[in-house]
Amino acid sequence: MEADFIIVGAGSAGCAMAYRLSEAGASVIVIEHGGTDAGPFIQMPAALSYPMNMSRYDWGYMSEEEPHLGNRKLVCPRGKVIGGSSSINGMVYVRGHAHDFDHWRDQGADGWGYADVLPYYKRMETWHDGGHGGNPDWRGKDGPLHVTRGPRNNPLHAAFVEAGRQAGYQVTDDYNGEQQEGFGPMEQTVYKGRRWSAANAYLKPALQRDNCTVVRGLACKVVIENQRATGVEVKRGGKTEVIRARREVVLAASSLNSPKLLMLSGVGPAAHLAEHGIDVVADRPGVGANLQDHLEVYFQMAASQPVTLYKYWNLICKGLLGAQWLFTKTGLGASNQFESAAFIRSRAGIDYPDIQYHFLPLAVRYDGKAAAEGHGFQAHVGPMRSESRGNVTLRSNDPNDAPVIRFNYMSEESDWVDFRQALRLTREIFGQDAFKPYVKHEIQPGKDLVTDDELDSFIREHAESAYHPCGTCRMGRADDPLAVVDSEARVIGVVGLRVADSSIFPRITNGNLNGPSIMVGEKVSDSLLGRPPLASDNAQPWINPNWQTAQR
């Protein structure tokens, strides 16, 4: 078996590359360990808590004990299925802030500034504003990825935005357009009532072509001969075989599995590889380092009137909603229910938002457990740019073993300062007049928790990952000892091998990472094909003119 390009991982970036490379006439084999994404649990947007907790669709990874979070082990779901994590995520679509990408560029990822990535966001999207405003000039019109907005019928969605306005914040009609900062509608990768994963958007159309195939199997390592990647060793059906790449091998296996595969292939910190008896092909100490994530808490309020989704939180209603969705792709089942959002700055002197809100008209956890209080609503809130860094290392040289994942959450004092501030600002927003008709009391943290110590212990006990790991194969200049790939995503020290997924982010972007991961796949496709990048787009994003002196 051989092809021009071998892509490891049918996730967000891998599907985009399979589509673009096969569209250009190259032959592509995508190696994916997981199985089909058919079935209502994945395709029905409102059922999102199910696939994320099903071993059939998830690698089932856990962090090591986190010393600053009471030694808890946190779950870190990663999609093990066609579509990767885009098939099990919350379907929230965020591009990231313009300044995130300018920071990448300034850190050595040449050609990845906002002006460089904006054309790729436009190429990948078909944007549906749903009558909720926004400027189409900033958005894509005919890309494979459909981006929509929920109906926002629940009165709490409007109350959240109005409360933000009453608290003195900006209102924005499109956080993915000119102005991210402020309160407004949230966007989702849902189309015609179905989860619009990278598999539905990119891989399924690519598989209609003769030159694109998916091979089910576990990628064990990249075969590297004389510093050149020539193929991938794959275990399937009890046998090990090598699938050969005529042109290049691309790892798009996630920020947890891509560094693991590099290390198993001899690319990584030499001493660590030697510990596991792996011959060193390229000593790259940055492989597996620089691990970042977003941490969040669910700020929950009990509702004083039955306007929340809790009234559907029983088997009969779930069954009726499920049936309505199965037959018509409409109703509550057709949205992820994240329909209002906000990005704000935590204090004066910060030039762009560093706190994100997902608002949900139900008090519930990601694992599907509803609050004991019954009717309630919540905001997921957390800081965007934690200074803590963790790492991914090998447990052994056996490809079947999960990697060792240490996020090292909350290891910097600045993280505690930022998180306390986020909680206090949230409490103030929920205290605005817009929520007066709906608020009964604060469920969690609980109004009695006010001091730094009280908030800290709440964070220690309740902070959860937002499931945005990234950064473990950082992009940078070839002379940067901690960079793993150059600005064309080529692994430094090996020919014919690239990494293209959230691993290569130099720093985590604002918001959810599915959008930026797909964008990486789109942009790296042009590099793989030897094409010049799309012409840069110098549209200037809105920055709060008073950022130096005012928090809002």
**Catalytic residues, which ones?**
468
Nearest to 210 by CA among 16, 4, 28: 28
Question: Strand, coil or helix: what is 419?
Answer: helix
Q: Alpha carbon of 284 to those of 228, 389, 399, 474, 481: distances in Å?
A: 16, 17, 20, 11, 7
Whether residue 92 is annotated as binding a ligand: the answer is yes
Contact indicator for 272, 262 with CB cutoff of 8 Å: no
Residue 251 dihedral angles phi and psi, to the nearest 5°: -90, 125
Secondary element (H or E) of residue 414: helix 413-430
**299: β partners:** 379
Whether residue 89 is annotated as binding a ligand: the answer is yes
Whether residue 81 is annotated as binding a ligand: the answer is yes
Give the pairing type, strands 228-236 and 239-251.
antiparallel
- Distance (Å, rounded) from C-alpha 28 to C-alpha 210? 10
Residues in the chain: 552
For Cα atoms 361, 362, 364, give the angle at the middle one, nearest 5 degrees. Answer: 145
- Distance (Å, rounded) from C-alpha 93 to C-alpha 180? 13
- Distance (Å, rounded) from C-alpha 402 to C-alpha 299? 32
Handedness of CA 274, 277, 281, 286 (dihedral sign): negative
Contact indicator for 470, 293 with CB cutoff of 8 Å: yes
- Distance (Å, rounded) from C-alpha 1 to C-alpha 99? 43
Task: Give the residue ranges of the annotated binding site for FAD.
Answer: 81, 89-92
Residue list for the binding site? 81, 89-92
